[in-house]
């Protein structure tokens, strides 16, 4: 009985030693590994202009109200389609009841519909906006980076970020007294593309306009875009 227990104990010890070998190998894979982070950035022009217009009316007859809103929208859409390089999208359209002072009886209906215009031709869209403000109101003017410009800037920044990462890795290797390094993993992430930028002055100017159309003056500006390179390198020691 004791002999069996001794053999069992030796077998368990042998299995335990074998099982620990993969763990030791895994530890060796992480030997002399350090995290490195680098970043590249550039100013990118906001080359896409976005204008949101809306029409809003009130009527006791919901059918007449809907017809009036549709007439205004269709007129604006027709004008916009005549302008080259303008992307046209219909935004939200909502109607809701209007109650009396006691909040119990419906006295009418109110409806609002939006129209969204996009273009890289700022002059053309500015002129069209001024013309459409005769019948509609402005909800906001935004500027963004177009998809094509974003991709071009990302491609350029990717190379810069990788080069910055390699320079940081080499610097860390030298500081640790290593003879070189190898990249274990590397992640690239871009950020900094602008949120919509509204010009409230435009809303004020459009609201106070007379019978003549107003051509807004626009300045899109730029946005700082970043590309980050995060990764792990293994330093090869002397």
DSSP letter, residue 211: S
How confident is the model at residue 222, as a pLDDT? 84
Overall size of the chain counted in residues: 238
pLDDT band at 221 (very low <50, low <70, confident <90, very high): confident
- Residue 197: which of 92, 80, 51 has the closest Cα? 51
Contacts 24+ apart (CB under 8 A), 65-74: 65/95, 65/109, 65/110, 65/111, 66/95, 66/111, 69/93, 69/111, 69/112, 69/113, 72/113, 72/135, 72/136, 73/113, 73/115
Q: Show the tokens assigned to 140.
A: 């906001």
How confident is the model at residue 32, as a pLDDT? 87
Distance CA 214, CA 140 (A): 15
pLDDT band at 71 (very low <50, low <70, confident <90, very high): very high
Q: What is the pTM of this model?
A: 0.67
CATH 3.30.70.2970 occupies which residues in the chain?
A: 48-144
- Residue 130 or 207, more confident: 130
* Superfamily classification of domain 32-47+146-195+214-238: Protein of unknown function (DUF541), domain 1 (3.30.110.170)
Compute the average pLDDT of residues 33-54. Answer: 93
Compute the average pLDDT of residues 117-129. Answer: 94
Give the least confident one: 70-79, 109-118, 195-204.
Answer: 195-204
- Fold type of domain 48-144: Alpha-Beta Plaits (3.30.70)
- Residue 193: which of 3, 79, 19, 48 has the closest Cα? 48
Distance CA 190, CA 225 (A): 7
Cα 39 to chain centroid distance, Å, stands at 19
Distance CA 80, CA 125 (A): 9
- Residue 61 or 104, more confident: 61
How confident is the model at residue 68, as a pLDDT? 95
CATH 3.30.110.170 occupies which residues in the chain?
A: 32-47+146-195+214-238
């Amino acid at each position: 009985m004791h002999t069996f227990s001794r053999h069992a104990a030796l077998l368990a010890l042998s299995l335990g030693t074998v099982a620990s070998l993969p763990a030791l190998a895994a530890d060796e894979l992480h030997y002399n590994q350090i995290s490195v982070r680098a970043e590249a950035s550039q100013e990118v022009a906001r080359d896409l202009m976005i204008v949101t217009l809306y029409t809003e009316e009130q009527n006791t007859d919901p059918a007449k109200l809907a017809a009036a809103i549709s007439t205004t929208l269709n007129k604006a859409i027709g004008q916009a389609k005549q302008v080259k390089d303008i992307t046209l999208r219909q935004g939200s359209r909502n109607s809701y009841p209007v109650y009396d002072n006691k909040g119990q009886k419906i006295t009418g209906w109110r409806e609002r519909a939006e129209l969204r215009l996009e273009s890289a031709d700022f002059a053309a869209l500015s002129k069209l906006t001024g013309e459409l403000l005769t019948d509609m109101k402005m909800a906001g003017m935004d500027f963004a980076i177009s998809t094509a410009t974003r991709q071009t800037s990302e491609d350029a920044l990717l190379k810069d970020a990788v080069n910055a990462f390699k320079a940081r890795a080499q610097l860390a290797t030298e500081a640790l007294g290593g003879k070189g390094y190898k990249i274990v993993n590397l992640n690239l992430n871009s950020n900094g593309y602008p949120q919509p930028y509204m010009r409230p002055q435009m809303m004020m100017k459009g609201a106070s306009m007379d019978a003549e159309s107003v051509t807004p003056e626009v300045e899109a500006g730029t946005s700082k875009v970043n590309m980050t390179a995060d990764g792990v390198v293994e330093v090869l020691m002397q």
